[in-house]
Structure 1
């Protein structure tokens, strides 16, 4: 893993650095050639100085080769990340993520409560962080529950498909103490993509980072009993 910068950023910087060094390398060769051609026959270039210049030239060339190797390693890392994430396709997942696209007039999330709640409220927020819908949670008991939003605002208007929304849950005890809760995305993984070198999974109408996955399981298959003659 590259922690300080993303793989894509590192690759861009490496490419830019190589271009700059290659230009300097060519300029260095041109200057050195011109120096040798135009040196005073009665006062040739000092051998020690000439050796030093050749050493510098070799160092620049080695730097270029090292950068090429680094670029190859970064590309391999990206490919490996995508290949590894592809192994999750077809599995059922649970992710601690809340961004969901409204599609077909609905968006479905799950929410988890750490304990039974006296009150539990849900809020749907748009991309600007504004609350477009709010209401009581359909289930206030401890555990994980599903919630499907029909795309309507609290005022009754219908929002168009394509917008990305997030769900926020707030739960409290009878003593008005906050209960731990979180929003989840649950469903089947149908695809993987790379964004800035990080693998993302497609789950329903959501695209979420692989790092947000908290559970995976094989998708259940239904078998039809074979009848006897």
Structure 2
């Protein structure tokens, strides 16, 4: 569904203008009403029906403006990727991100080296900014291209950290001349949720929420490998399959 950004901007401008005029009109109306009440004849008080109707009309206009605001947000949400994000549910994606949640005693990241490095330092940082684990990459993990890092959830003393916390992967890479090698961090996993928060579309990957616009690749979710023998009654039998079928 295509969204006309110019039209949406025009609608927003019209709503803002209407709200300003309503505020001005309401203030003017209240000033006039106050002046009328102060100067009315005590023996012949003014009829309250007319200004009550005007208040009702102004309230109706205000409600309409609020409705317009809601519709504008819905249009913005549609244009910002909510429809596209819903289609990602159940798909495996890779997105630009350096955070992962520790689950079942492990957390996984992916990263890319722009070129070959001679030294790669991998640090796992907790939410307080403390480095809980440090490792040095070696072998093929120093080459240019994509790599993965799997953390066992243990800190530098060997203690197992609790599941559920989110950690940041920080990588520093240098070449033989000591120059910095560019590194890009990724998170990879199946999209399990889509949410709208403050006008932003967020998707959930491995328990972590990130902006849908950070997705760089999409693939079908990996299927679990079926068991070689689906008949548990014959799993321990030494009889060949052809003879089992015959019996």
C-alpha root-mean-square deviation of aligned residues, in Å? 4.1
Separation in 2, partners of 1:151, 1:223: 27
Cα distance, 1:40–1:156 mapped onto 2, change above 3 Å: closer
Instruction: Give secondary structure in 2 for the equivalent of 1:65.
Output: helix
Structure 1 residue aligned with 2:69: 70
Structure 2 residue aligned with 1:97: 97
Structure 2 residue aligned with 1:108: 108
Structure 2 residue aligned with 1:121: 121
Query: Residues 38-59 of structure 1: CA distance to partner in whole angstroms, max 9, x if unpaired?
Result: 3699xx9xxxxxxxxx99x978
Aligned runs of 1:196-215 on 2, under 5 Å?
196-215=198-217
Separation in 1, partners of 2:186, 2:221: 18
Cα distance, 1:195–1:137 mapped onto 2, change above 3 Å: farther
Query: Residues 176-206 of structure 1: CA distance to partner in whole angstroms, max 9, x if unpaired?
Result: 1111112110122222122222111111232
Tell me whether 208-217 or 112-121 shows the greater mean CA deviation.
208-217
Q: Give the deviation of 1:159 after TM superposition.
A: 0.8
Separation in 1, partners of 2:208, 2:42: 73
Structure 1: which 5+ residue stretches go unaligned?
2-9, 45-53, 225-229
Tell me, yes or no, if the aligned pair for 2:73 and 2:199 is still in contact at 8 Å.
no
Aligned runs of 1:33-182 on 2, under 5 Å?
35=37, 38=40, 62=61, 65-78=64-77, 81-137=81-137, 139-182=141-184
Separation in 1, partners of 2:137, 2:199: 37
Tell me, yes or no, if the aligned pair for 2:153 and 2:160 is still in contact at 8 Å.
yes
Structure 1 residue aligned with 2:195: 193
Cα distance, 1:60–1:176 mapped onto 2, change above 3 Å: same
Structure 2 residue aligned with 1:49: none
Larger radius of gyration: 2
Structure 1 residue aligned with 2:219: 217
Separation in 1, partners of 2:171, 2:116: 14
Q: Give the deviation of 1:34 after TM superposition.
A: 5.9
Tell me, yes or no, if the aligned pair for 1:107 and 1:205 is still in contact at 8 Å.
no
* TM-score under structure 2 length normalisation: 0.64
